[in-house]
Structure 1
Amino acid sequence: MAIQKMSESVYMGMCLEMGTPQQVASRRDIVDIAEMLKYNEMLNKPITVLSGSSREGFRLSGSDVDYMRWPNNHRVIWDFSQVQFYNTQEHALILCDSSESPPGFTLLWLPLESIGRIVLSACVRMNGMLYISSSKYREVTCSIILSDSTAHGPCSSGIHRECGCELEYDHAHCFVSDFWPPSASSWIDRCHSWPPPHVVNDIIRNGCHFVAIGHKLGNHTDNEWRISFSRAEYKLVCSMNHTQFLTYGLLKLFLKEVINNGLRVGDKLLCSYHIKTAVFWAIQQNALPHWHPNNLLVGFWVCFKRLLKWVYEGNCPNFFIPENNMFLNNIYGEAQRTLFTRLYRLYEKGIALLLHSRSIRSYIINVLVNPRLTVCTVGLSLISEVELDKNIFNEMFRNDSTCPTDLRMCRKYLHTVEQSIGLPLTQYHIVMLQKFTATILQRTAFMLHNLYNNTGSNKQLYIVDKMACHMLKIAARFGSVSDMLYIAMYYYKTFRYREALSVIDITKVKLAQPYLMYNCHVDREWYIEAVGGQSLSTKMRQAVAQNIILDNDNEIFFISEIIPEQQSSNQNNERVLFIPPLVLLYLLEFLCSRHVDTLKAQRALDDLQVLVHHDQGELIPIFLRDISWEILGICQQIAGNLQAALYSYQQSLGEYPCNRIQTATRQRIQDLHL
């Protein structure tokens, strides 16, 4: 009974650490729909998708973010009979040659030399034939994403800055095959009880990938490629029930906080992939007949014993190709014996070994201290509606990062949205589609204006203007409360100051509502009273605001007064400029009012000054104080208060450089001539 209560307590804790079923489902659905829209087959460009634990639905602090990237016009085939499925004018074909490679690895042979420049530069000749070298391909692609990337296994690694956070990333540059590997055919025959047949069929239909790393003990280490089942693993994790998912998460935490705690990077022999493999085998072999919250710890123990056995034997069989022993590279000899001793000492402690995990120990201690504790394990009761909504909207806005480069791409995106409407969609898909549509319409409106403003006739300009206004109004009806500000920006850009001020006044009232959710700040009682129980779409339109995103890539300058900031940000490899909605509102109100009501302009400047000077991170996120001080300085400079402007610019330089606008700030200080 004690183990059952501990299991339920840990299950509750893991839901808080890793997410409830609803949270995990929303994360997966939002990423899935965002990637489907951004990387539809119509878009002839390399595919970059989220992979690893983030794609699976985990949001673990301190974890790096994994991506896979492959050229969409290349395909790997297993034999020549598969050529018939491709138009060789559209796809460059690559042939597998596994005859001299260890299980799970292969050489990639080019039967024809008509292939992309990057791939060709990574080729070597062996026995008179052209092969793509994995080591050379890593060198060639290492700095494609960011110039300061470094090689890390098969990936290019570095630091990615997102909304004030620095995240480590791994980009695996790979190739894709639409066909299931013959060497993994035995896996299909093993799938009697798990995963279900429809998942098996889906996995087989989606083939596999090849990542640029060879087997250390192979004959062609520098040229071999490892077969990757990343897409299949994602589908397997999605087919787990929530107890199985949390068991996997508990093992990941245990690996990080106990097994690998205090070890140097080179001494961390076990990785999360070994953990995942152990869970897959345990589920498929029915090591635990029923995975339920009250036996979560039993499931953990089953998987931990399996890992211990593998380390003792020196054999970790790949889930898809069991002949591929994933310990061969590094867990053998003295390292293997040391690891086994470390794990066995933990094993001897029994389930008390989890007391060494800082994230989990309190949930076990609660039961030990109070054996009569009643634990509620119903997922819906573990997190409030408000907390769930906050997580969903944060996830949405983080994935709403589409920056189409031209009108043709905008049109294709919108066509993809139109096609997706007929699909079976969850509530998370629907609200993400809504936001995505609003974003694309906003980008399209400003692109149209930019294109025809310099070249169009009066009639064309009139038609384009009507279309742009219509798109922005539709976007405001689809999107969040702050999307109204794109209409105000457009009116200011087209010199309609009174119309802009009318929109600003409406938006100001909406942004001042006590139930507004912005950047995780919300009054829970007001929010529930206003929109509790409503659909996510309704909540977003009526009660949610987000940061304003100005695209730097397309030479579209939304507000002429902050062109230097966009240029500085763009020169420093930032694709977009983030501005808090209320800061942008006061900027626009100040700029528009200067043309129609100078007293109102001064009030807007005063309101902006109070906001920037006194906000405690509620209306201006800490990581956006650089642009907020900058905008205050710009307004003060326009108003003629140069000393105040200097102070604001200096404050901007002292803040975290989220938007990388320092070049513009320093130039503005020089131009003050004080």
Structure 2
Amino acid sequence: MSANKTESLHLYDYLCWKIGSDKEVKGRRLTFIAIDTACKFLISSGSKSEGLDLKGSDIDVMFINQDFKVYESERDYVQAQRTALIMDTTETHPCFTRLFLHTNYTSLHKDHRNVLELHGIKYILSNKLYKQSFLKIITKDRPMSFNKIHGPCISDDEGKLDIAFCLQCDNWILQAVPWITRPRSSWLSPEIVNEIIMNGVLFVPIGFKGSIYEDLEWRISFSVAEKFLIFSFNHTQLLCYALLKIVLKEIIEKDEDLKTLLCSYYLKTLMFWVSDDANPTTWRPDNIIPCFMACLQRLLYCVEYSTLLHYFISDFNFFTLRLSTELEKKTKLSNLLKNIYQQGIQCLSASETLHDYTKFPTAVNKLLNINTRLVKYILEISHYFHIPFDNRRSCVLLKCLRHPCKTVLSNDIFLYFMSAAHQVLQTKSYTHHAQNNKQQYNRYQYDLSHLLIGLHSDAVTGWLMVASFFYVHENYLISLDLIDYALSHFTDEKCDHLFSSKTRIIFTPKQQVALDMMKKEKLLTTFKKKITITYLHFALKSQILPKELQQDDMKGNTFFHPLAFGHFLRFLCFFHLHDIISCRDAMQDLKLSIKKIRPANGSVSIYHLRSTLFVGIVAQMLGATDSAREYFNYIAQIDKVNYTSASTRLRELG
């Protein structure tokens, strides 16, 4: 084997170890596919959903607003319940459009009228007013999480999650029709091209910078199509794409002057054009270095000639304004890219992620612990998504699982999310006064079977949800047995990162050993064998939440730490069994659990506040009113936005 091929294979093995193997990338993608499938009208986008988990990668989520429907022209309009909008691309740059109202203005809901502006005799949907309206809604529900508008998105305070509330046109638009028949290599099959066309296009709320109609324009988005394209990459292509992103973020953007010239989206576009031109057989592990150098060379060419055309609408050149007005920065960027190209693959040593490439052993154990890294990834992503159970979405998941092309890995990931969704019962669960005994029994059996499916996604929470179910039905002894079983699994090797504010998991030595012992197991077995713990999630007005906590469930979904909730539920069972001695023991265990779950840095989380609330409720139930008042007062002083019922309970005590 030639030296070049040997070096390429060495780099390929290193990148699989550092960035992710083919199987690991598929697992990451399947995680987001499962979330997209379970969450109606949600489309994940960005690097993480593409299968990359690089430093600084955030989560991009697009919610399709079902209140509106976009049509390219009035001829395409189909009578529907949704507010109809018509594209108008006159006086707009390629890739941008204004959206005129086609529905009768007077028939609209007030919220819809508030995001429209009258121009002449037509109403136009304002992207500025539209974003502000959603920011107002989100900050009302989650004031400490999302607080700023970032481009077309609403972002969280840490800049880790971007949400775009987009609109959809079901049809492929005329501006992008030339892409369908454009000459290209055989990397895209006709089936994929047809699938892309069938999904239409999206519109995100941002206008062309500097346009006189900037606040009234919407950018045409091909995010769905781009996911199809990225998923069509083989692993060598994807790794070259990842290398370009690392070069941008960790080498080029070290220079403050160059931070605003390029972005990841440009690199994605570049990769599409390169893939169109290249012979698909060149994207091989033993040829990855020449492939990457060709991508770098193409980027240098684009910068020098200020030309990078939009992949779907080639009339739009990203670099027309970006580089022509920044000549000094363009020259600086061009010189840096030339230097990087001349260094060849050794340029990677200047990056933080890949700095140890030269120290990577030639002979390496390729048996990576995929389970450990995927469990870590799934838990980190789960930090952002709460998947409620829905019969229709569950049927979609089941249909996906029955697909003959599904792999063991995809089945495990889909089953994990299905199980997690089944831990949360639908809100309207019991209406005793309106049901006869047979109906109540059928409802009881249905809900119990529903919760039993939820036992497979973590070690503790599923059991506690079933225990809460039996408590509400006054089966206190069964509930106690389940609580004791659940709490016995709350051990040090479990991964319970969800109760902290950190979005990146760092496994303890015990957790790492526990996961390493299961690296040859199926992924779902890793979850089934009780490696992870998640929070308890009760839907709004949940019928299996103890009545003692229903004051905290009046505004929206409620989350509790399982360790504290388990000890609190034990107390409630003993209280109704009139076992006062055991009640006092349970109260002491509850207090100890709160000390255990409080972060070492002394910070106070919502889980800590709600766990402390348990102690106040317990004190009140035992007749220690003064003590209860102290606990409620402590929580109320910290909980300024009333995440808990502490203020209400304090007023009730007088």
TM (normalized to structure 1)?
Answer: 0.79
Q: How far off its partner does 1:557 sit?
A: 6.8
What's the secondary structure of 2:283's corresponding residue?
coil
Q: How far off its partner does 1:269 sit?
A: 1.9
User: Following superposition of structure 1 onto structure 2, how do residues 3-42 of structure 1 map, counting pairs within 5 Å?
Assistant: 10-39=11-40
| Counterpart for residue 464 of structure 1 | 443
Q: Hey, what's the Cα distance between the residues in 2 that align with 1:630 and 1:9?
A: 56
User: Aligned pair in 2 of structure 1 residues 576, 345: CA closer, same or farther (>3 Å)?
Assistant: same
User: Aligned pair in 2 of structure 1 residues 481, 431: CA closer, same or farther (>3 Å)?
Assistant: farther
Q: How far off its partner does 1:499 sit?
A: 1.5
Alpha-carbon displacement from aligned partner over 1:149-176 (angstroms, at most 9, x marks no partner):
43333333343xxxxxx44433333321
280, 284, 299: which is aligned to 2:276? Answer: 284
| 2:386 is the alignment partner of 1:401 | yes
Q: Hey, what's the Cα distance between the residues in 2 that align with 1:123 and 1:441?
A: 40
| Counterpart for residue 575 of structure 2 | 594
Residue 66 of structure 1 contacts residue 170 of structure 1 at CA under 8 Å; is this kept in 2?
yes
Alpha-carbon displacement from aligned partner over 1:541-575 (angstroms, at most 9, x marks no partner):
332442232335336571234445556xx4xxx74
| Counterpart for residue 357 of structure 2 | 363
590, 593, 613: which is aligned to 2:595? Answer: 613
| Counterpart for residue 585 of structure 1 | 566
| Counterpart for residue 233 of structure 1 | 226
183, 192, 202: which is aligned to 1:190? Answer: 183
Q: Hey, what's the Cα distance between the residues in 2 that align with 1:641 and 1:202?
A: 65
What's the secondary structure of 1:174's corresponding residue?
strand
User: Aligned pair in 2 of structure 1 residues 605, 385: CA closer, same or farther (>3 Å)?
Assistant: farther
156, 181, 186: which is aligned to 2:154? Answer: 156
364, 374, 381: which is aligned to 2:362? Answer: 374
Residue 306 of structure 2 contacts residue 324 of structure 2 at CA under 8 Å; is this kept in 1?
yes
Write the letter of the residue equivalent to 1:56. Answer: E
Q: Hey, what's the Cα distance between the residues in 2 that align with 1:625 and 1:292?
A: 51
Q: How far off its partner does 1:134 sit?
A: 3.9
Residue 400 of structure 1 contacts residue 436 of structure 1 at CA under 8 Å; is this kept in 2?
no
Residue 34 of structure 2 contacts residue 417 of structure 2 at CA under 8 Å; is this kept in 1?
no
| Counterpart for residue 329 of structure 2 | 338
What's the secondary structure of 1:33's corresponding residue?
helix
Q: Hey, what's the Cα distance between the residues in 2 that align with 1:211 and 1:445?
A: 32
User: Aligned pair in 2 of structure 1 residues 669, 97: CA closer, same or farther (>3 Å)?
Assistant: closer
| Counterpart for residue 53 of structure 1 | 47
Alpha-carbon displacement from aligned partner over 1:486-533 (angstroms, at most 9, x marks no partner):
111112222221121122233344555x8766545655555566x664
| 2:535 is the alignment partner of 1:548 | yes
Q: How far off its partner does 1:384 sit?
A: 1.1
| Counterpart for residue 547 of structure 2 | 560
Alpha-carbon displacement from aligned partner over 1:8-63 (angstroms, at most 9, x marks no partner):
55545544553332222122212222222321xxxxxxx34322223212334444
Residue 481 of structure 1 contacts residue 541 of structure 1 at CA under 8 Å; is this kept in 2?
no
Q: Hey, what's the Cα distance between the residues in 2 that align with 1:6 and 1:654?
A: 62
| Counterpart for residue 558 of structure 2 | 576
Q: Hey, what's the Cα distance between the residues in 2 that align with 1:377 and 1:322?
A: 45
Q: Hey, what's the Cα distance between the residues in 2 that align with 1:396 and 1:135?
A: 29
What's the secondary structure of 1:143's corresponding residue?
helix
Q: How far off its partner does 1:329 sit?
A: 3.7
Q: Hey, what's the Cα distance between the residues in 2 that align with 1:301 and 1:621?
A: 48
What's the secondary structure of 1:448's corresponding residue?
coil
User: Aligned pair in 2 of structure 1 residues 577, 178: CA closer, same or farther (>3 Å)?
Assistant: same
What's the secondary structure of 2:61's corresponding residue?
strand
99, 103, 110: which is aligned to 2:94? Answer: 103
| 2:291 is the alignment partner of 1:312 | no
Write the letter of the residue equivalent to 1:423. Answer: H
Q: Hey, what's the Cα distance between the residues in 1 that align with 2:641 and 2:7?
A: 48
Judge which range, 501-510 or 113-122, deviates more.
113-122
| 2:473 is the alignment partner of 1:494 | yes
Residue 472 of structure 2 contacts residue 544 of structure 2 at CA under 8 Å; is this kept in 1?
no
Q: Hey, what's the Cα distance between the residues in 2 that align with 1:222 and 1:617?
A: 44
Write the letter of the residue equivalent to 1:490. Answer: F
| 2:313 is the alignment partner of 1:321 | yes
Judge which range, 353-362 or 389-398, deviates more.
389-398
Q: How far off its partner does 1:204 sit?
A: 1.3
Q: Hey, what's the Cα distance between the residues in 2 that align with 1:126 and 1:175?
A: 21
What's the secondary structure of 1:339's corresponding residue?
helix
| Counterpart for residue 43 of structure 1 | none
Residue 251 of structure 2 contacts residue 351 of structure 2 at CA under 8 Å; is this kept in 1?
yes
What's the secondary structure of 1:175's corresponding residue?
strand
What's the secondary structure of 1:476's corresponding residue?
helix
163, 175, 181: which is aligned to 2:167? Answer: 175
| Counterpart for residue 44 of structure 1 | none
Judge which range, 269-278 or 620-629, deviates more.
620-629
Q: Which runs of 5+ in 1 are unaligned?
A: 40-46, 160-165, 368-372, 405-409
Residue 134 of structure 1 contacts residue 225 of structure 1 at CA under 8 Å; is this kept in 2?
yes
| Counterpart for residue 104 of structure 2 | 113
Q: Hey, what's the Cα distance between the residues in 2 that align with 1:545 and 1:151?
A: 34
Q: How far off its partner does 1:651 sit?
A: 8.9
User: Aligned pair in 2 of structure 1 residues 344, 230: CA closer, same or farther (>3 Å)?
Assistant: same
Q: How far off its partner does 1:235 sit?
A: 1.0
Alpha-carbon displacement from aligned partner over 1:205-229 (angstroms, at most 9, x marks no partner):
1111122333346674443332211
Judge which range, 386-395 or 50-59, deviates more.
386-395
What's the secondary structure of 1:590's corresponding residue?
helix
RMSD: 4.1
| Counterpart for residue 42 of structure 1 | none
What's the secondary structure of 1:19's corresponding residue?
coil
Q: Hey, what's the Cα distance between the residues in 2 that align with 1:329 and 1:177?
A: 28
Q: How far off its partner does 1:232 sit?
A: 0.8
Alpha-carbon displacement from aligned partner over 1:585-640 (angstroms, at most 9, x marks no partner):
2222232133444444444444444444356979x999644444544565466567
Judge which range, 136-145 or 250-259, deviates more.
136-145
Q: Hey, what's the Cα distance between the residues in 2 that align with 1:474 and 1:431?
A: 14
Share of identical aligned residues, percent?
Answer: 25
Alpha-carbon displacement from aligned partner over 1:374-396 (angstroms, at most 9, x marks no partner):
15484xx2x31441352354167
| Counterpart for residue 261 of structure 1 | 254
| Counterpart for residue 504 of structure 2 | none
| 2:195 is the alignment partner of 1:202 | yes
Judge which range, 533-542 or 514-523, deviates more.
514-523
Residue 460 of structure 2 contacts residue 487 of structure 2 at CA under 8 Å; is this kept in 1?
no
Q: Hey, what's the Cα distance between the residues in 1 that align with 2:208 and 2:175?
A: 16
Q: Hey, what's the Cα distance between the residues in 1 that align with 2:172 and 2:628?
A: 63
Q: Hey, what's the Cα distance between the residues in 2 that align with 1:415 and 1:402?
A: 14
| Counterpart for residue 391 of structure 1 | 376
Write the letter of the residue equivalent to 2:92. Answer: S
What's the secondary structure of 1:577's corresponding residue?
strand
User: Aligned pair in 2 of structure 1 residues 615, 138: CA closer, same or farther (>3 Å)?
Assistant: closer
Alpha-carbon displacement from aligned partner over 1:231-270 (angstroms, at most 9, x marks no partner):
1111111111222212222222222222222527x95121
Q: Which runs of 5+ in 2 are unaligned?
A: 141-145, 498-506
Q: Hey, what's the Cα distance between the residues in 2 that align with 1:301 and 1:526?
A: 41
Judge which range, 48-57 or 455-464, deviates more.
455-464
Q: Hey, what's the Cα distance between the residues in 2 that align with 1:654 and 1:295?
A: 62
What's the secondary structure of 1:145's corresponding residue?
helix
Alpha-carbon displacement from aligned partner over 1:635-662 (angstroms, at most 9, x marks no partner):
466567889879988997999x8x9777
Residue 460 of structure 2 contacts residue 489 of structure 2 at CA under 8 Å; is this kept in 1?
yes
